Structure 1
């Protein structure tokens, strides 16, 4: 008679299984609307602009770090700081915010609650995506008009460096133009999906 080596009251330990985080990060319903530079998904112009903005963001961030650090070292070590550095940092930060907002919009990296839309059928989800980007486009047009008014009426220069203030406001206009253009493209894709409900997420409209 053979006996088992495992005691009858022993508790078998099982390692917890971790759920794949891509389940929450990737939405198959919006796959057609994404701009991916690695897989060449989306219009080529938007892909190149997104890459250019990301490189510009890196350059601005590096310049910000160098500028702010130089003044920190100057104050603490040499008891002297450059007055124009603070002004430069403010202008660079404004460009960083707006260019970063445009790049994040292209990458679908803005905060969003998609618990409902990812559970809807593809056609119904794109109806909501169309409404969403219609609202975004309208808001961008309002901001575009406001930015244009600021550009045309602002003729001053910064106090220390003498940089035209129009150059600072230009970041807002470029940001909203890009977001509006991407929104219009996504609306067109959503309309195409609504008209063809059996379209698969991999059937991208000839944008490669």
Structure 2
């Protein structure tokens, strides 16, 4: 008597298919990548500001040495440099020490025919007026602008900023304090040069 053959092929295929599907369940998915949509704002290091860092301030057409509400500020010293057949004046309006910090305010007035990029007052490493320093001759020490925890200058930003012809803009820089007894220092501003023996207000 001949025993009929049992065909297992369909069953084997079903089992193999089931195992294949089971093996796919535990595979990790590739990570999702978010592509920013056109026009989305991008945060950069220059976008971050600290509460201590002042912003570049006066509006177009304001006069050198004018404060909020048009109140004139005393001008401690001025220097000028040539630009495009005209002159740019840099006026120091504040060089004052309080506690552990010394604050500098200076106003740039452009009387030339060419816009002056504010970044020219910086070192070029960041969009800041961080190229300014002063020298304490009595102790033979150069003071650089103060820096926050992330390395940014505690000073006005120059991001996309220019002083246009006929315009004045005021910038600020914060430094560490001078030792007791020091009443003046030599301030150095790129392009403008040295303000020798500038008195310190306390």
**Structure 2 length as normaliser, TM-score?**
0.26
Which structure's residues are more often strand, by fraction?
2
Relative contact order: is structure 1 or structure 2 higher (C-alpha 8 Å, sep ≥ 6)?
1
Which structure's residues are more often helix, by fraction?
1
**Structure 1 length as normaliser, TM-score?**
0.25
Higher gyration radius (CA): 2
